[in-house]
Amino acid sequence: MNVKLRVWRQKNSETEGRFENYEAKNLNPNMSFLEMMDVVNEDLTDAGEEPIAFAHDCREGICGTCSCMIDGKPHGPEHGVATCQTYMRSFKDGDTITVEPFRATAFPIVKDLVTDRAAFDKIQQAGGFITVRTGAAPDANSIPIGKEIADLAMDAAACIGCGACVAACKNASAMLFVSAKAGQLNLLPQGQPEKDRRVLSMVAAMDEAGFGNCTNQYECSAACPKMISEEFISKLNRDFVGATVRNAVKAKAL
């Protein structure tokens, strides 16, 4: 199959970007989208041109680094998969495919399709940890946790931090990411000691990074490659209100 590409090219965050047109010919429909990009880059390199910069690592839908917009959708036309799990059979022979980076103030463009998502790391560092000593794995596993709670925590932990939720939201909100990262720990007994501090710190870090407000339209969960539910946002909101009230009561008591 053959396709035409409109790819966003931008030297760095300080320069203006533009769309450039390329042709990808004689493709195997069963190759992944990133493998198709590899083919295009090989042709560009052979022609003495600058290859297209795009991020990738595991290529197994685990690391989240391959994030880009494909025809206006985070990760492409399929549901519940990352860019590296999108295959050329999802497109038709002769299609024109537009590829661009995630757009968000908090995700500045590094080069071409590569964005800096260090803002997610700062949110994680603000509260995505526990301080309780759990010992080795057998000791941690000895703490009884109901299956429903364990399953919910695992659902939240499936977040790969790709940023699709931010790219899909018209306000570039990171609420789904924050609610998943906070929720996976807040649901478990090991995460209870700093639950309030975790929620307040992670939300504060999110606001400081420049992410927008949640509009509760759920584009985030629809675009999420791990199909994380928007219900975690509701839980984060409840936890945030509770933590704010308890902190205010403590401050008044002092």
For the domain covering 3-111, report its CATH number.
Answer: 3.10.20.30
Note the pLDDT of residue 142.
80
Please report which confidence band the pLDDT of residue 139 belongs to, taking 50, 70 and 90 as the band edges: confident
Beta strands in 129-194 (DSSP E): none
Number of H helices, E strands in the chain: 9, 7
Q: 83 with 33: CB under 8 angstroms? A: yes
The pTM of the whole model exceeds 0.75: yes
CATH superfamily entry for domain 118-253 = Alpha-helical ferredoxin (1.10.1060.10)
Tell me the two tokens of residue 173.
């909100």
Residue intervals of the chain classified under CATH 1.10.1060.10 are: 118-253
The tens digit of pLDDT for each residue in 154-173 reads 999 999 999 999 999 999 99
Report the C-alpha gap between 92 and 9 in whole angstroms.
Answer: 24
